């Protein structure tokens, strides 16, 4: 039966029983919809009933990885969409179908493999290897002491130096880390949050030292303090002064380093902590709202900085749910920036995102299965329209990836780009009734969470009340029970198991790394100008106490080879420290 295209009008969803869902305006001609609904009812009562009598459904309940109910079939009678208002064309509001008019037909996503281990010398060698193998952007993993604002010679760092990322204590380490890498030709991402202001200052100081203009360097610093309090728990100072530091960075970079993404608003760690896709979407967007509100309260025009806010999402196992999440995120952010904040520039409305395949989905059992998981997740990220992508290595449940395993992970992206054909057309799943319905369902669920957070006074207040933390914990617990009871299949874990012990090569970080790093740090401290160190630290403290922007004095401290812990200790001294409140 032929039918005209849906009429203009707001989004409409119908449940399987025909009742109206989350909007009640505008639909296709009533007679046509009624006709189709009757035909669908007849199909279910006859064809489906006969088939299920012979072969019952293989599951009692079908749901996404986030436990969302999955319909057997979605038709135009179940769901209609206003194309121009809710989808639009790629590169145009509301950006559901992509932030660029031509997407991957003109330029593939950036293949940005997360890398870092041991000393700066070792990570520099890995960076060079990946660039030679076809990687198109750098992404830096720091060790745990660096993430927490401690130097390699701190008693707190014993046994952790270089273990889960690269150790960076001073500008000297940054110089070695990016030796031979043109900062004005390669964009760099740095996964650092609490001490992000220090590491960005090191990077800017390095560019200054090399004579590279600040407006020529590009990249991203994660710098998402809010998701740390929600999910990852690697903070430097309490939430409110942490927001002040982030806002200082947004303000400084808006004029001084205009190509730099000052915050990578990160849903990844929220999802890794156990959230659903809708919660990841909602809490990430709510974090973004908080950063925009803070910058606007500082007196910044929204269009002066909004285009340099970027996002970072997880790509989990449920193929269509993940694709829908990316599409919903773009539409939701565009509408919020336009309607809530009055942004006028198109670039201010665009949600540009990096994506990473789900580390939490990787299993130690049958680790080669992870190659398949990562490939499917990477395909979902591409079909969802990501701008940048990291693919996890299959051995990451055991150790940092080996050179061979990281090459397989990179080749996964390259095969998708060059051989699969999915990059040849824009948003190829757009218009799928199932995908469009799931996109709108995720958006609606996210909006409910955001409304609750708004009612609490915003995300900082919600975090202080423990709201997102409790929601994630409940979701994580529900999922774990499903796995333990066999309701959720994980191949190699609770289904298709084997007793064979996998034999895979592992990357080992030995004690020599810490000894080398300590010797290098000692040498820097012995050769720097102590009077200049004290003067620059005093300037940092004055800015912290006086409320002036922290970026300029921290850059000067970096150039004096002040260590990151020395700077972080000043910030902790002024702003205090933070302990996570117990939640039950």
**Chain segment 108-145, per-residue pLDDT in tens:** 999 998 888 999 999 999 999 999 999 888 999 999 99
Q: Count CA atoms within 13 Å of residue 422 on its CB side.
A: 20
- Six token digits for residue 465: 């009340």
Q: Please state the pTM of the whole predicted model.
A: 0.91
Query: Do 370 and 423 belong to one domain?
Result: yes
Alpha-carbon distance of 429 to 22, in angstroms, equals: 22
Are the CB atoms for 346 and 390 separated by under 8 Å? Answer: no
Are the CB atoms for 196 and 221 separated by under 8 Å? Answer: yes
Q: Count CA atoms within 13 Å of residue 354 on its CB side.
A: 30
Alpha-carbon distance of 60 to 44, in angstroms, equals: 17
Q: Does residue 543 fall inside a structural domain?
A: no
Query: Do 166 and 205 belong to one domain?
Result: yes
Query: Do 46 and 121 belong to one domain?
Result: no
Q: Give the structural domain span for 191.
A: 97-443
Query: Do 24 and 154 belong to one domain?
Result: no
Query: Do 152 and 245 belong to one domain?
Result: yes
Alpha helix segments (H runs only) across 114-165: 120-132, 144-147
CATH number, position 394:
3.20.20.240
Q: Does residue 460 fall inside a structural domain?
A: no
Q: How many domains does the chain have?
A: 2
Alpha-carbon distance of 303 to 349, in angstroms, equals: 9
Query: Do 74 and 147 belong to one domain?
Result: no
The 3-class secondary structure across 150-161, one letter per residue, is CCCCCHHHCCCC
- Chain centroid offset of residue 512 CA: 33
- Six token digits for residue 190: 């740095």
> Which among 84, 106, 135 is the end of a domain?
84
Q: Does residue 470 fall inside a structural domain?
A: no
> Which among 386, 411, 443 is the end of a domain?
443
Q: Does residue 403 fall inside a structural domain?
A: yes
Alpha-carbon distance of 521 to 566, in angstroms, equals: 13
Query: Do 437 and 349 belong to one domain?
Result: yes
The model's pLDDT over 340-356, given as tens digits with 9 standing for 90+, comes to 999 999 999 999 999 99
Q: Count CA atoms within 13 Å of residue 406 on its CB side.
A: 22
Alpha-carbon distance of 381 to 389, in angstroms, equals: 8
Query: Do 217 and 246 belong to one domain?
Result: yes
Query: Do 45 and 120 belong to one domain?
Result: no
Q: Does residue 58 fall inside a structural domain?
A: yes
Q: Does residue 291 fall inside a structural domain?
A: yes
Query: Do 68 and 126 belong to one domain?
Result: no
> Which among 400, 427, 443 is the end of a domain?
443
Query: Do 48 and 113 belong to one domain?
Result: no
Q: Does residue 430 fall inside a structural domain?
A: yes
Q: Residue 94, preceding bond cis, omega within 30 degrees?
A: yes
Q: Does residue 210 fall inside a structural domain?
A: yes
Query: Do 59 and 130 belong to one domain?
Result: no
Tens digit of pLDDT at every position of the chain (584 positions) = 333 333 333 333 333 333 334 343 444 466 788 899 999 999 999 999 999 999 999 999 999 999 999 999 999 888 888 999 999 999 999 999 999 999 999 999 999 988 889 999 999 999 999 999 998 889 999 999 999 999 999 999 999 999 999 999 999 999 999 999 999 999 999 999 999 999 999 999 999 999 999 999 999 999 999 999 999 888 999 999 999 999 999 999 999 999 999 999 999 999 999 999 999 999 999 999 999 999 999 999 999 999 999 999 999 999 999 999 999 999 999 999 999 999 999 999 999 999 999 999 999 999 999 999 999 999 999 999 999 999 999 999 998 899 999 999 999 999 999 999 999 999 999 999 999 999 999 999 999 999 999 999 999 999 999 999 999 999 999 999 999 999 999 999 999 999 887 889 988 888 899 999 999 999 999 999 999 999 999 999 999 999 999 999 999 999 999 999 999 999 999 999 998 876 65
């Amino acid at each position: 039966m032929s039918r005209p295209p849906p009429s203009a009008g707001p989004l409409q969803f119908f449940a399987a029983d025909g009742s109206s869902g989350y909007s009640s305006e505008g639909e296709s001609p009533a007679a046509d919809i009624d006709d189709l609904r009757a035909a669908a009812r007849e199909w279910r009562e006859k064809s489906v009933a006969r088939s299920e009598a012979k072969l019952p459904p293989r599951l009692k309940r079908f749901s996404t990885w986030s436990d969302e109910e999955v319909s057997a079939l979605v038709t135009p009678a179940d769901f209609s969409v206003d194309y121009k208002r809710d989808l639009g064309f790629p590169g145009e509001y509301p950006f559901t179908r992509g932030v660029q008019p031509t997407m991957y037909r003109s330029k593939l996503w950036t293949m940005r493999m997360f890398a870092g281990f041991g000393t700066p010398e070792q990570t520099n060698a890995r960076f060079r290897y990946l660039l030679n193998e076809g990687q198109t952007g750098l992404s830096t993993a720091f060790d745990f002491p660096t993430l927490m604002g401690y130097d390699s010679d701190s008693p707190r760092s014993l046994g952790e130096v270089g273990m889960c990322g690269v150790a960076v204590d001073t500008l000297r380490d940054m110089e070695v880390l990016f030796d031979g890498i043109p900062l004005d030709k390669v964009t760099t991402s740095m996964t650092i949050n609490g001490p992000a202001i220090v590491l960005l200052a090191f990077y800017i100081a390095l560019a200054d030292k090399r004579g590279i203009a600040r407006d020529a360097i590009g990249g991203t610093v994660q710098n998402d303090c809010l998701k740390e309090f929600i999910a990852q728990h690697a903070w430097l100072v309490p939430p409110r002064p942490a927001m002040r530091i982030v806002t200082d960075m947004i303000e400084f970079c808006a004029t001084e380093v205009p190509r730099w993404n000052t915050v990578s608003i990160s849903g990844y760690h929220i999802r890794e902590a156990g959230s659903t896709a809708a919660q990841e979407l909602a809490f990430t967007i709510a974090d973004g709202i908080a950063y925009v509100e803070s910058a606007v309260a500082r007196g910044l025009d929204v269009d002066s900085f909004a285009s340099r806010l970027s996002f970072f999402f997880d790509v989990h196992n449920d193929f269509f749910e993940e694709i829908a999440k990316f599409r919903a995120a773009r539409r939701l952010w565009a509408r919020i920036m336009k309607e809530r904040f009055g942004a006028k520039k198109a670039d201010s409305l665009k949600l540009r995102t990096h994506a990473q395949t789900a580390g939490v989905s990787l299993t130690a059992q049958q680790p080669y299965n992870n190659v398949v998981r990562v490939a499917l997740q990477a395909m979902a990220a591409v079909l969802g329209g990501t701008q940048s992508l990291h693919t996890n290595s299959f051995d990451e449940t055991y150790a940092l990836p080996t050179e061979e395993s990281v090459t397989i992970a990179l080749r996964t992206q390259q095969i998708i780009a060059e051989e699969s054909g999915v990059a040849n057309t824009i948003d190829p799943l757009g218009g799928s009734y199932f995908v469009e319905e799931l996109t709108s369902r995720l958006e609606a669920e996210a909006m409910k969470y955001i409304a609750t957070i708004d009612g609490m006074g915003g995300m900082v207040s919600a975090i202080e009340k423990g709201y997102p933390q409790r929601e994630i914990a409940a979701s994580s617990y529900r999922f774990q029970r499903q796995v333990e009871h066999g309701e959720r299949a994980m191949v190699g874990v609770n289904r298709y198991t084997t007793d064979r012990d996998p034999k895979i090569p592992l990357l080992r970080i030995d004690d020599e790394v810490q000894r080398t790093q300590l010797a290098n740090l000692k040498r820097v401290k012995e050769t720097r100008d102590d009077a200049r160190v004290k003067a620059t630290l005093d300037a940092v403290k004055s800015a912290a106490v006086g409320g002036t922007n922290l970026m300029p004095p921290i850059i000067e401290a970096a150039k004096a080879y002040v260590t990151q812990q020395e700077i972080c200790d000043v910030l902790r001294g002024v702003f205090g420290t933070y302990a996570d409140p117990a939640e039950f």
